[in-house]
A = this chain, B = another copy of it.
């Protein structure tokens, strides 16, 4: 089976909010297209950030890697979304490793090009700042969840987030059209594939959701929300 996150006209990305069509074209012309194969590493945690990029089609996975090989998924980057914001402005190190989940087409701006463009288009700087603020809030929320919630609650929260970000509402529920293995859900919630599997099985029996291989259909979002609050399994 073929999974695809589709593509998006990069000129429509939120980071270009407030720009005219001509201005958007200027940005796109300054960008270097880049294609990443499946499982290709696009950026490595700890390496100096040299470029800022936008996903045009495909899907990136941002990871925190542990010394002993475990990985934690920070977030996915979908078509139209930027990557490498803060970091390229300061030529600091990438805080994450970026991996292409499927064949992915990127638009990349080297650091100096980006800085020159941002001086001419302060609005884009503000848009990028907005993204960063959102990701910061998100990171802090996850820190809190990891520190204070049970696995089932964190899993519920994670599914709800995925629904919002990548959900397509259908007749009998919201479909999460996203190639997610149990292992990936575990890496998103800070758990193990066993516990995730058990929890999902339970929820399936209760009619809250239906899980095919690598696909999830949430039938009762409200019950999921309840589960994300209470600690009852």
Q: Mark A residues whose CB is within 8 Å of B.
A: 64, 66-67, 70, 72, 74, 86-87, 89-90, 92-93, 95-96, 126, 129-130, 132-137, 139-144, 146-148, 189-190, 229
- Top 9 closest pairs, chain A to chain B, by CB: A147-B190, A146-B146, A64-B144, A139-B139, A95-B137, A86-B133, A95-B140, A90-B130, A72-B147
- Chain A interface main SS type: helix
Known A86-B136, A89-B129, A139-B140; 9 more pairs at CB < 8 Å = A64-B144, A90-B130, A90-B133, A92-B130, A92-B134, A132-B132, A142-B143, A147-B189, A148-B190
17 pairs of residues in contact across A and B, judged by CB atoms under 8 Å: A64-B141, A64-B143, A66-B148, A70-B148, A72-B143, A74-B140, A74-B143, A86-B136, A89-B126, A89-B129, A92-B130, A92-B134, A135-B136, A139-B139, A139-B143, A142-B143, A146-B146
